[in-house]
Structure 1
Amino acid sequence: MHTEEGRNAFGHHLSSLNLKNSVASPQPNVANNGGSPASSGMHRHKSSDSSKPFPLFSFGAGGLAGYLSALSGYPSFVTITAHTNAYVSHLSKQALDLVMERSPTVLLTLAKRLISLIPPIVLHLSYAMEWMQISASQVLHREEDDSGSIYIVLNGRLRTILEKEPGKVEVLREYSQDESVGELEVL
């Protein structure tokens, strides 16, 4: 896409925001409604249920935030906060979809930028992974079987259970998003 064409495609869809220090947007686990190119310093945080939020990375002028959830439509798992007063431009998901429909190279540019931010080890792991969707109550591994897999929960819950007698089970542990199970058995 040519520079002038890009300005015309994005220009009238952008809205400017002035975020004060410590203002957050978007909240974790809330569907993102757009991406935000930053004009000055911001942090991206992830918080777990049991601890205080911690910074994942900082970005400044020219940085992009929220475009992965805007592209995928999935909720954001991080909170973006301004650590100083910041001017940001906001592009809604609907506008981003419209721009990508008119100029598909925008999608390729965002995908290339995303891949450049991913550490090489994650890319190698991604190629080695088998992505699977499982049904409720589906058994992935039985106690006496040899294990050759590590399972990472992307969405939903995974339980390890002990079957004491047919029909009676005891839940040993429950795994949720971003947790893994099976490392010890594989090693």
Structure 2
Amino acid sequence: MSQAPEIQETEIPGVLEIYTPAFSDERGFFSETYNQTAWEQSGFSQSFLQDNLSMSCKGALRGMHYQLNPYGMGKLIRVLTGAVYDVAVDLRKGSPTFGQWMARTLDDATPMWLWIPAGFAHGFLALQDQTRVYYKCTQRYNRESERAIRYNDPDLDILWPAAAAVISKKDSQAPLFKDAEYNFSFSR
């Protein structure tokens, strides 16, 4: 029988921590990580069109990525192995937290998903080697609407726990927040 996840608000409206129960015994553990019916009964109702899996070495930084509307992409993120420092930046015009960021450390020992809706730039820093991040997406990847903001933008002042040792050229040269293109609006 499915057990409903525990959903908790974060300091930024719309971003959620979602905990799924794990059952342990002498063999190890079992966790039903996603059950659409149980999640909908808990108040979380999203349709997912694409699942992604990344593997990163320690110190790899991926981000800060998003897609413009109408291809805005919500992401439900979980770490399968290793650990990441996961960051979301609010790009929704009119939001009380517009331009602010929040972060969580996600790891393979904690049965938690992080929900980041469309309207946010997302990125993470791998804290361990062979970190695998799995995420369910509400949109398919669309190259023409893909955008990014610089992970080390001084105006955002994201407090990364370590320096990025590996980052793509594209991410390192992304526009600053003040120069970035975004078309999201906040709605309650």
Provide the TM-score with structure 2 as the length reference.
Answer: 0.32
Q: Normalized per residue, which structure has more strand? A: 2
Q: Normalized per residue, which structure has more helix? A: 1
Of structures 1 and 2, the one with the larger relative CO (CA 8 A, separation 6+) is 2
Provide the TM-score with structure 1 as the length reference.
Answer: 0.32
